[in-house]
Structure 1
Amino acid sequence: MTAPGVVRPVVNRDSQFFWDGTRARELRIQRCNACGARRFPPGPACRSCDAYDRGYDLAAGTGTVFSYVVHRHPPVPGKELPIVIALIDLDEGVRMVGEVVDVEPEDVAIGTRLRVDFRDVDDELTLPVWRLA
């Protein structure tokens, strides 16, 4: 069953492995099988060597806030304001944007350690969310 009013991510052949991972409660980071470079967001070709040979690594699910914003307006379908959105430096060396949940905005700062968690939206979609580590 699909939840009404939720902004859904684009799922395509380049990102399907990532969303399959979130449903399995895994944070998957695309890796080039030719040169080993990791990248996020996922794409069809490696930015380091131009190979199309893609795989993925399981991330530890921990990282540090590189930057963040507190979204207070306008309303976002399916969300309660304020929303803390962070750019997270994963321990694996890539950056990912994510929502920091169950936290007061003043408790987040650049350098704050986070850990991933997963939130089921419906039977088809599980989103990665971030919590204080």
Structure 2
Amino acid sequence: MTAARPIPIPDDTSAPYWAAAAQHVLTVARCGQCGFLALPPDIVCAACGSTEPGYTFVPVSGAGAVRSWTVVRQSFLAGFEIPFVLVDVELDEQTDLRLIGRLLDGVTDGLSVGARVRVAFEDLEPEIAIPAFELVR
């Protein structure tokens, strides 16, 4: 029997992100003062320095380019079939807006820096989905 994967436990800040993910919508936090996109949001906006950024979560395309990746051959977390690939993706909406996620294509020769990917979602439980990526072929 395979052990269950860890699941996110939303807090007050992350709850809108995880609620959208459950609906297969990727969102990021937008500063209410300057419009800067952040993932995850911080208590101070990295762009304008506001200590009251008033973040709201807004949908994004989920399209981006691979900046780097790693092949995980030994997992210390239960529920992952190894090997698996984690990709560091720069989302198209803003320079340096990055998200790390599992590449659902698995270990593949088609992966390179700059490879185009799009968001996909792994449904772990009812109402719990994790953003991941697929190569754009």
TM-score for both structures, normalised by structure 2? 0.86
One-letter identity of the residue aligned with 1:119: E
After TM superposition, what 4+ stretches of structure 1 lie above 6 angstroms from structure 2?
A: none
- Separation (CA, whole Å) in 1 of partners of 2:83 and 2:76: 9
One-letter identity of the residue aligned with 2:93: E
Deviation at 1:75, TM superposition (A): 5.5
Question: Match of 2:30?
Answer: 31
Question: Match of 1:108?
Answer: 111
Gaps of 5+ in 2: none
Residue 71 of structure 2 contacts residue 107 of structure 2 at CA under 8 Å; is this kept in 1?
A: no
- Give the length in aligned residue pairs: 130
Q: Aligned to 2:132, what secondary structure does the other structure show?
A: strand
Residue 27 of structure 2 contacts residue 60 of structure 2 at CA under 8 Å; is this kept in 1?
A: yes
Q: Could you tell which deviates more after superposition, 7-16 or 33-42?
A: 7-16
Residue 7 of structure 2 contacts residue 124 of structure 2 at CA under 8 Å; is this kept in 1?
A: no
In the TM superposition, 1:53-132 aligns within 5 A as 53-74=54-75, 76-93=77-94, 94-132=97-135
One-letter identity of the residue aligned with 1:88: V
One-letter identity of the residue aligned with 1:65: V
- Separation (CA, whole Å) in 1 of partners of 2:110 and 2:71: 11
One-letter identity of the residue aligned with 2:74: H
Gaps of 5+ in 1: none
Deviation at 1:79, TM superposition (A): 1.3
One-letter identity of the residue aligned with 1:110: V
Q: Aligned to 2:125, what secondary structure does the other structure show?
A: coil
- Separation (CA, whole Å) in 2 of partners of 1:17 and 1:25: 12
One-letter identity of the residue aligned with 2:120: D
Deviation at 1:104, TM superposition (A): 2.9
TM-score for both structures, normalised by structure 1? 0.88
Q: Identity of aligned pairs, percent?
A: 28
- Separation (CA, whole Å) in 2 of partners of 1:87 and 1:113: 12
Q: Aligned to 2:80, what secondary structure does the other structure show?
A: coil
